Structure 1
Amino acid sequence: MVVTGTRTEKARDEAPVRTEVVSTEELRATGAQTLKEALANINGLQLQELHGKSGYSLVMQGLAGDQVLVLIDGLPISASTGSSVDLSQYLLSDVERVEVVKGAASAQYGSAAMGGVVNVITRRPATGVQGAIQMGVGTRGRQNDSGKRMSAAVKQLQAHVQGGTENLRGRLAYDRLSDQGFSPDPSGWTRQGDRIRREQATGRVFWQATAQTGLSAEFGRYEEHDLQRFTTFVPPVRVPQHKTEDIGRNRLALGGRHRFGQGAVLDVRGVNEDYKTHSQTLSNGVRTIDRHSQQRMNHLSLQLDLPPVQDQQWQVGADLHREALAQTQNGKSELQADGKVRRHNQELFLQGDLFLTPAWELVPGVRWQDDSDFGQHWAPKLAVRGRVWQQADDSLTLRASVGQGYRVPNLKERHYLFDHSALGYKVVGNPDLNPESSTSFQLGAVLALGRQWTVDVNAYLNRVKDLIETDRDNAREENGISVYTYDNVARARTHGVETDIVWQPDARWRIDAGLTLGRTRDLATGREIAQRPRRIARLGVDWQATETTQLTVRVRHQGSELSDTASNLRSDPWTVVDLNLQQGLTPDLSAFLRVDNLFGKQRDFSQTHQLGPISGRMVMVGLRYGFGGNE
């Protein structure tokens, strides 16, 4: 069952909006620990490094992390950089599955969903008493921070317990992930991999108040400590630097669902989130930068599913959103306006599900947004799904959609003042930016041949207007410092074809191969957009060798990509192979062996235009214990 395309449960094969899923079984099979790792093997998705820190955002169908909406149970999560969500900052012990919708096909989602939606679905508490604990230790061999091959460079702990009755039940989960950092030359000062400690704790309660009404509450706390070590060239020497960053995120979400006698369903959910960071940069032990940042986000979502009428199902809903940002460097505001900057918006949507015939389904929708700074905007959507052929277990299904995307400039792009004069540049926000808009076209087909073969082909085209970028071509000089700003610099186009083939010859084997061929173009200059590979390929092999032994192989390939439009240099293609072996020892106890980047493929750090893998080989071993019939 999937929920992201329409916010109502549908079988994935019958969903009118194409939805890709990272299942519970996939999370276990690959040993994914963060949202970034969970998404690594979705066909066509590109994980892109965040500038200046050890995190990753998502590029989807050529559109960047600012243009992809990331949700937890349908509610937004704070953008870690003030712009993009850092996918490394969400841990997975409380996650059931992750759903991905590409393109602006659904009226359910507004600003920031131009490229698509990633929705993390958490586990609902189960009845009875169940739980599990998993621990692992890993090494990067000679690249360990200590320089010792067998030192425990990576440590992982996951634990959860849940239980209760049908009417009242709860769940507690805890994750801890620590990494000592790494370097190809541990004897030097610089570390290509940061020392990081991440911790996340969540608690959930579900109360079935009446037969028609259910209430839920969730509290989450995330903490991170990050240490970077690098050098800065100050002629004639390279000066050692290090930067520390402490991050805290508090999240409170409440929800309620009521089913009326006529078949209508009202769903109300809200979230309050505070996200704080404190970073310090020291040069030769002397503090040069002391930065504090705080984001606050409030979001309320309401949806009413109306009773079905004559093969039609309609939904109406509203979203209210507020956010505020404050940031200082060395006691001085890094915003062009002193103090906090704020924005809020309200959005309404209407979406229908029309069953034209038993085989054909039409999903029209429209979304209205009124932003405190940019006024009103309408975004129509239309999707269609039809089963054009079926014989026994064989079938051919077509899907098509067209939708308008819309994104208002975030507070960073409009108000930030990044003063890196010591490095020779500044980045200044532009309060006069216009919103981005796009038109997204998707056309695909799914061919199922029994239970053994599935072939999924999808073509996409995104046309973007008023694309927001850092305008490098029109930098101005101030006292020898290059000053850049954000601007609506171009119209852009991204297009491509995504293919995915799944073969399951029997219950023991599953092979999944995917290839995406894509192109991007800045229509103002005629050049391709930087850091968008033309080719992305995935291969997954799952082998249930015995009843208690499972081997998982994941291969990821990324083709050549333009590193930077100014230099016109291209990064080389790369391929990595990951392994995960799980061995059941008793009905409740299992062991695992995980090898990331088996062949140690790693970029050449002396070539700044290379964008291949940062981390080399990592080997981890661990144990998992479950009780109470837990999976």
Structure 2
Amino acid sequence: MFKYHVFICLCLFAFAKAESQQKVVDTTKTEQLEEIVLTATRTERQLSSLPLPVTLISKKTIEKSGAIRLNEILNEQTGIITVADESGFEGVQIQGISSDYILILIDGVPLVGRSAGNFDLSRLTVGNIKQIEVVKGPSSSLYGSEALGGVINIITEKPASPALKGNASYRIGSFEQQDINLNLKKRFEKLRLSLFANRFSSDGYDLTPETSGQTVNPFENYTFNTRVFYDFKENLTLFTSARYYNQVQEAGFTFEDVDFEGDSQEQEWNTHARLDHKWNDDFNISYEFYYTNYQAAELLADPIGGEVLSDSDFNQTLLRPEIRANYKITEYGTLTAGVGYQVEALDRTFFDERVQFDSQYLYAQYDVNLSEKWNVIAGARFDNHSEYSNQFSPKLAAIYNINESIAVKGSVGYGFKAPDFRQLYFDFTNSAVGYTVLGYNVAPAKLNELQAQGQILDVVVPLNDLNDPLEAESSIGYNLGMTYKKGKWNAELNLFRNDFTNLIDTRIIARRTNGQNVFSYVNFDEIYTTGFELNTGYKVTNDLNISAGYQLLYAFDKAQEQAVEDGSVFIRDAQTNQSVAIDRSEYFGLVNRSRHNANIKIFYDIKKYKANVNLRLLYRSKYAQFDTNGNGLIDIYDSSFINGFVTTNVAATKTFYKDFDLQIGANNLLNYRDNNIPTLPGIQGYIRLNYQF
């Protein structure tokens, strides 16, 4: 009954009349501040002036949407899809590029903890976020590895008022989901302090009650973040931040009629310090130090017999000092340069020992206005790494303002992703099935051990193939677009193409005497993603805004594409029982990629009643999860396709007594469900009360 109550309340709530009129606030300055983007160039730039494809999500948008975790708000943006991997973590896909290749930052520094490739976006609350910046396309020229497909930077708020400001909120929703926030901010003469705390919990849910276990098990997590700003002088400031995250989740699994129980735990903490020194109007320099640690552990055991099914640990650290500077060479051009050192280590179950990567890097970028209409950004980065070949990552971008309303922009850049710890050092044997997965660097020695133990039937690749270092994955990305903004209309069109080489995947390197295979990793895949994105908005009135977005995406494996064109990929005809070569039009492309994605958003401010309502319709066309007919690729005859679907999210907020906001909303209002999509458990209603002081 909860969903019906929510729907009725939404209708009544949106039109409830307040006793007093809402105070009209001039938001011009706020809107201008929200237009400032830092991530794309590492300098402050107006969003509209950038020659790169960037999505900016403001705090106001986040609050009105009712989103409480990062994955929720990102999933509503054009060209951004969240996809779960085998770990169950929900990662982000941009321009058809998977989560493995998207760098996640908080206040400009990277987060770690990818046990299976995806970064778990639900780890991040949005309760103290000022804005989210998404740079699409290769960004390794500034950020190095993992920025091959783009960058997501979460920027937290900075205290501005001498009075104690902040908010406290409580939200409860379906599946006993509860979210509690406390955010405090205060500015003294030279000192600014902020403290943020969040508790998030859920009883979980079960999409397949006919089977043992829940789809999502109950969990409880906490986030604490404190930030200190100190102005030694007008031109010398210090920023420090400490963040802690902890989650405990129940775990359960049935194997061979035995119910194994236990829990999984995650813990993350990071510390960040930056000293900014403005030497003069033309030159400033920042000294930065950052350290982060992510730990995860899971234990599954038979509570009766004591048999242990799974006992795993994951402990990753990252240490990074960096110095960067901005120098205004002329009135029209700024040079940005930086140098840094990075130490990354991982101690994990299925690794023989703790492993460590060391790297040094330097980058430079020149941002110049060639004329009143032309802006050009040229940059490059050099990375020297202990485990793979040196990388040079250039990028060039430009924007030309045809007039005050229309601008044309384009960019080309190189991106790379280093082989990760798992691909180099993994040593895992599935005890139930019997197959083995070996990291590239340990494969020769481990094969020799298995051969000495009489467990290898034959080696199917020359061992010399494992002597050369595994190459970093790389891509070249192209973006060409046009923006239009005049009166009540705004629109942006961006065409993109990303070509990837040296993608790393598994291959069979040996066969075991038990009939199973030994896998390792190799560079061989070449893929590309191409298409376009269109965003448009129309301001019907000062209070009513309508926007829409659409992405067309083609994502193909070049080797598979060539095999289809050569007529060497077959499908069995059900009527004749004969093998028939599939046609190029029948080759669908890569898994988990939808050809079409679209959204429509309606935001309505009812100022007279101190309320607002917003509605978001999100469409994703069909996509495939895996190959089912055994021909090695996704074609239209595979049976793992998930049909296209629409999700509808709605929220309504009303202000009472100036400081209290009551929000009622529902995600997936039309109650769409599919057991193959574990992140869509049906309608999720909620009520949230926020006190602003």
Residue 599 of structure 2: aligned partner: 538
8 Å CA contact 2:501–2:524 kept in 1: the answer is no
| Shift in Å, 1:369 | 0.8
Aligned counterparts, 1:3-42, within 5 A: 3-42=38-77
Residue 444 of structure 1: aligned partner: 481
Residue 567 of structure 2: aligned partner: none
Aligned counterparts, 1:28-107, within 5 A: 28-53=63-88, 55-81=89-115, 83-105=117-139, 107=141
Deviation per residue, 1:420-478 (Å, 9 max, x gap): 3325544332224221111100001111121x11111101000000112234x778455
Amino acid at match of 2:290: V
Identity of aligned residues (%): 23
Partner Cα distance (1:123, 1:19) in 2: 20
Aligned counterparts, 1:404-443, within 5 A: 404-423=414-433, 425-431=435-441, 432-443=469-480
Amino acid at match of 1:44: G
Deviation per residue, 1:469-508 (Å, 9 max, x gap): 234x778455244443332231111101111111111121
| Shift in Å, 1:375 | 3.3
| Shift in Å, 1:293 | 1.6
Q: Is residue 539 of structure 2 the alignment partner of residue 504 of structure 1? A: yes
8 Å CA contact 1:500–1:513 kept in 2: the answer is yes
* Corresponding residue SS for 1:524: helix
Q: Choose which of 402, 411, 419 in structure 1 pairs with 2:412.
A: 402
Partner Cα distance (1:475, 1:502) in 2: 56
Residue 159 of structure 1: aligned partner: 182
Deviation per residue, 1:266-286 (Å, 9 max, x gap): 022221111111101234654
| Shift in Å, 1:617 | 1.1
Partner Cα distance (1:511, 1:239) in 2: 54
Larger Rg: 2
Residue 574 of structure 1: aligned partner: 645
Residue 347 of structure 2: aligned partner: 326
| Shift in Å, 1:79 | 2.8
Residue 8 of structure 2: aligned partner: none
Partner Cα distance (1:420, 1:24) in 2: 46
Residue 209 of structure 1: aligned partner: 232
* Corresponding residue SS for 2:559: coil
Partner Cα distance (2:210, 2:160) in 1: 50
- The 3 A distance-change label for structure 1 pair 103 and 294 is same
Aligned counterparts, 1:333-348, within 5 A: 334-335=350-351, 338-348=352-362
Amino acid at match of 1:616: G
User: Which range moves more in the overlay, 476-485 or 248-257?
Assistant: 476-485
Partner Cα distance (1:476, 1:176) in 2: 49
Deviation per residue, 1:128-159 (Å, 9 max, x gap): 2112100011124xxxxxxxxxxxx1111011
Q: Is residue 682 of structure 2 the alignment partner of residue 616 of structure 1? A: yes
Deviation per residue, 1:381-434 (Å, 9 max, x gap): 1000111122xxxx0111100011111111122112333332554433222422
Residue 357 of structure 1: aligned partner: 371
- The 3 A distance-change label for structure 1 pair 519 and 221 is same
Amino acid at match of 2:531: G
Amino acid at match of 1:531: N
Q: Is residue 200 of structure 2 the alignment partner of residue 168 of structure 1? A: no
8 Å CA contact 1:125–1:204 kept in 2: the answer is no
Partner Cα distance (1:82, 1:185) in 2: 24
Residue 297 of structure 1: aligned partner: 318
The structure with more strand, counted as a fraction of residues: 1
8 Å CA contact 1:67–1:114 kept in 2: the answer is yes
Partner Cα distance (1:566, 1:485) in 2: 23
Q: Is residue 540 of structure 2 the alignment partner of residue 469 of structure 1? A: no
* Corresponding residue SS for 2:45: coil
* Corresponding residue SS for 2:142: coil
Structure 1 stretches of 4+ moved >6 Å: none
Q: Choose which of 202, 222, 230 in structure 1 pairs with 2:245.
A: 222
User: Which range moves more in the overlay, 276-285 or 508-517?
Assistant: 276-285
Partner Cα distance (2:369, 2:78) in 1: 30
8 Å CA contact 2:363–2:380 kept in 1: the answer is yes
- The 3 A distance-change label for structure 1 pair 301 and 165 is same
8 Å CA contact 1:5–1:106 kept in 2: the answer is no
Q: Is residue 380 of structure 2 the alignment partner of residue 366 of structure 1? A: yes
Partner Cα distance (1:112, 1:475) in 2: 30
8 Å CA contact 1:202–1:220 kept in 2: the answer is yes
| Shift in Å, 1:94 | 2.0
Residue 383 of structure 1: aligned partner: 397
Q: Choose which of 612, 625, 641 in structure 2 pairs with 1:563.
A: 625
Partner Cα distance (1:371, 1:82) in 2: 22
* Corresponding residue SS for 1:38: helix
Residue 288 of structure 2: aligned partner: 269
Partner Cα distance (1:365, 1:114) in 2: 15
Partner Cα distance (1:489, 1:245) in 2: 35
Partner Cα distance (1:30, 1:566) in 2: 38
8 Å CA contact 1:421–1:481 kept in 2: the answer is no
Amino acid at match of 2:490: T
Deviation per residue, 1:190-223 (Å, 9 max, x gap): 2112212121001000001111110011111100
Amino acid at match of 1:533: S
| Shift in Å, 1:105 | 5.0
Residue 554 of structure 1: aligned partner: 616
8 Å CA contact 1:440–1:460 kept in 2: the answer is yes
**Aligned-CA RMSD value:** 1.9
Amino acid at match of 1:267: S
- The 3 A distance-change label for structure 1 pair 185 and 364 is closer
User: Which range moves more in the overlay, 252-261 or 301-310?
Assistant: 301-310
Partner Cα distance (2:536, 2:298) in 1: 45
8 Å CA contact 1:75–1:270 kept in 2: the answer is no
Deviation per residue, 1:340-363 (Å, 9 max, x gap): 011021111111111111011111
Partner Cα distance (1:399, 1:349) in 2: 23
- The 3 A distance-change label for structure 1 pair 374 and 340 is same
User: Which range moves more in the overlay, 378-387 or 287-296?
Assistant: 287-296
- The 3 A distance-change label for structure 1 pair 564 and 206 is same
* Corresponding residue SS for 2:423: helix
Query: Structure 2 regions of 5+ residues with no counterpart?
Result: 1-35, 442-468, 562-586, 630-637
8 Å CA contact 1:105–1:401 kept in 2: the answer is no
8 Å CA contact 2:141–2:414 kept in 1: the answer is no
Partner Cα distance (2:677, 2:510) in 1: 25
8 Å CA contact 1:154–1:178 kept in 2: the answer is yes
Aligned counterparts, 1:237-316, within 5 A: 238-261=257-280, 263-283=282-302, 286=306, 287-309=308-330, 311-316=332-337
Partner Cα distance (1:591, 1:201) in 2: 24
8 Å CA contact 2:601–2:617 kept in 1: the answer is yes
Aligned length: 592
Aligned counterparts, 1:125-204, within 5 A: 125-128=159-162, 129-140=164-175, 153-184=176-207, 189-204=212-227
Amino acid at match of 1:160: N
Partner Cα distance (2:290, 2:427) in 1: 29
- The 3 A distance-change label for structure 1 pair 562 and 308 is same
Residue 147 of structure 1: aligned partner: none
User: Which range moves more in the overlay, 338-347 or 239-248?
Assistant: 239-248
Amino acid at match of 2:663: F
- The 3 A distance-change label for structure 1 pair 438 and 185 is closer
8 Å CA contact 2:140–2:416 kept in 1: the answer is no
